[in-house]
Structure 1
Amino acid sequence: MKGMNAAEIRSRLAEINNEQAAFDSRDFDAELSQVIVNGGNVDALEEQHLQAERLARRLRVERQALEGALPGTVAKETAQAVIGLVEQHDQLLVKHHKKADEIVAALAQLEPLVEEFFQLSAQMRDTAFAIDGKAGDLERTTGQNVDIPALQCPQHAPLIEKKEFLAKLPNRLIYSNVSRYSQGMPSRLTYKPADAA
């Protein structure tokens, strides 16, 4: 019995049930009566009956032992399965923190670039207003029409193509950093790392 897993215990219990059913179906008194009527060897039959009763007793004790061991074996196997999943989660957690560090480093480089980009855009807008104002002043003082080129809002096509990514970036970063698994029954989680046991 030692070293049996839950499936092996269940299989052996099914075998014991079959053997017990075969024993229970025998009518020992009828067998003995038949041997007496036929003038057979009563002592040999009684010895067979004793052997059968000893086997039935052994089966009962084995069944009790197996039934007693089954819950613990199932619990141990379940814990092992959970420990494996928790270890997998812990490995992912290490990768998650490493990736978060990479993102923080990238954002540290990106932040001043975005700020500089924003300032350039503001300067371009202010310059466009100044050009428009200067042209108006010249037209009033000279009486001549001043042709100025159409001043476009800056539109950098490759950056515009990143619009969808940029739109979902805040939510992805926040969700990835603060989301928690809230399903299941946390009170049943009893896993402890080996160094905390």
Structure 2
Amino acid sequence: MTASFNHMTAAQIRSRLNEIASAEQAHAARDFDAELGEVMRKGGDLDAMEAKQLEVERGARRLRVERSALEADLPLVIKREAELSMSDMVKRHQSLGTDVARMVDDVHTAWGTFHRALKAWELAQEQAAELTESAYALSRQAGVKMADLGTFQSSKLCEVAREAQFVSNRFGSAEHQMQVGHSVQGRRLD
């Protein structure tokens, strides 16, 4: 293997270590003495067989050295990749913070609109209740039929009230979320 380890990923190193392990197992499974004995029995070229065996041993030694080097570099590569991932997460978090600041402004503006609409709804309900009470008093005093009045009902606003409770719970849990890291503080957006 001639490629620089500095350019290998942790996954590539693990894959290469698996390849080396397979090659080492195959080497360990060979019985060179038996092979040499077979060549002797058949009257073959012992020098060529020994030269071949020396070349295989040399390759096995290189694999052992490569395995050791890869095993030593693997934690460093894992750390390097983790640092790159961490850097990417920090950049994405910073970008998210910019988006969240805009979202906070949107929520604040929407809250103002919601609050004004809710106050108008409450005022209309108060006026409807006053008109209903006055109409009831008039019907009793003058003996006229009571008009079909009352406060207004809205299933949409009942749904809003349920959702408001959900939102309130979400804000409450967000205030108590744990921050991780050393000396990490929640980012104040306003």
TM-score (norm 2): 0.68
Q: Is the 8 A contact 2:135 2:147 kept in 1?
A: no
Aligned to 1:7: 11
Give the CA deviation at 1:63.
0.7
Letter in 1 for 2:60: A
Number of residue pairs the alignment of both structures matches: 177
The structural deviation recorded for 1:59 is 0.7
Query: 1:151 and 1:173 mapped to 2: Cα distance?
Result: 36
Among residues 161, 166, 169, which one is paired with 2:161 in the alignment? 166
- Where 1:153 maps in the other structure, the secondary structure is coil
Q: 1:107 to 1:95 in 2, by over 3 A?
A: same
Distance 1:93 1:148, change over 3 A: farther
Instruction: Identify which range, 96-105 or 165-174, moves more after superposition.
Output: 165-174
Please name the residue that 1:60 is paired with: 64
Say yes or no: does 1:147 pair with 2:151: no
Q: Deviations over 1:128-171 (max 9, x none)?
A: 434544565xx4xxxxx431542511326xx5434213321242
- 2:20 and 2:63 in contact (8 A); partners too: yes
Q: Is the 8 A contact 2:138 2:144 kept in 1?
A: no
**Whole-angstrom distance in 1 between the partners of 2:39 and 2:102:** 83
Amino acid at match of 1:56: A
Q: Structure 1 pair 178/100, CA: closer, same or farther in 2 (3 Å)?
A: farther
- The 8 Å contact of residues 24 and 63 in structure 2, kept in 1 or not, is answered as yes
Alpha-carbon distance in structure 1 between the residues aligned to 2:51 and 2:30:
15
What whole-Å deviation, never above 9, does each CA across 1:22-51 have from its counterpart, x for those lacking one?
322333334444555555444333332322
User: Structure 2 matches for 1:124-135, cutoff 5 A?
Assistant: 124-133=128-137
Q: Deviations over 1:85-104 (max 9, x none)?
A: 56555544443332231121
Letter of the aligned partner of 1:165 in structure 2? V
In the alignment, structure 1 segments of 5+ residues that lack a partner are 140-144, 190-197
Q: Structure 1's 154 and 2: CA in aligned 2 closer, same or farther, altered over 3 A?
A: same
Residue deviations 1:45-91, cap 9 Å, x none? 33323222211111100011112222333344455456555655554
- The one-letter amino acid of 2:113's match is Q
| Identity within the alignment, % | 28
Letter in 1 for 2:166: N
For 1:181 and 1:172, how far apart are their aligned partners in 2? 15
Say whether 1:69 aligns with 2:70: no
What one-letter code is carried by the residue in structure 2 that aligns with 1:4?
M
TM-score with structure 1 setting the length: 0.66
Match of 1:193 in 2: none
CA distance in 1, matches of 2:119, 2:132: 20
- Contact 2:132 2:150 survives alignment (8 Å): no
Structure 1 residue matching 2:8: 3-state secondary structure: coil
**How well do the aligned residues superpose, as a CA RMSD in angstroms?**
3.5
- Does 2:102 correspond to 1:98? yes
For 1:119, give the aligned amino acid: L
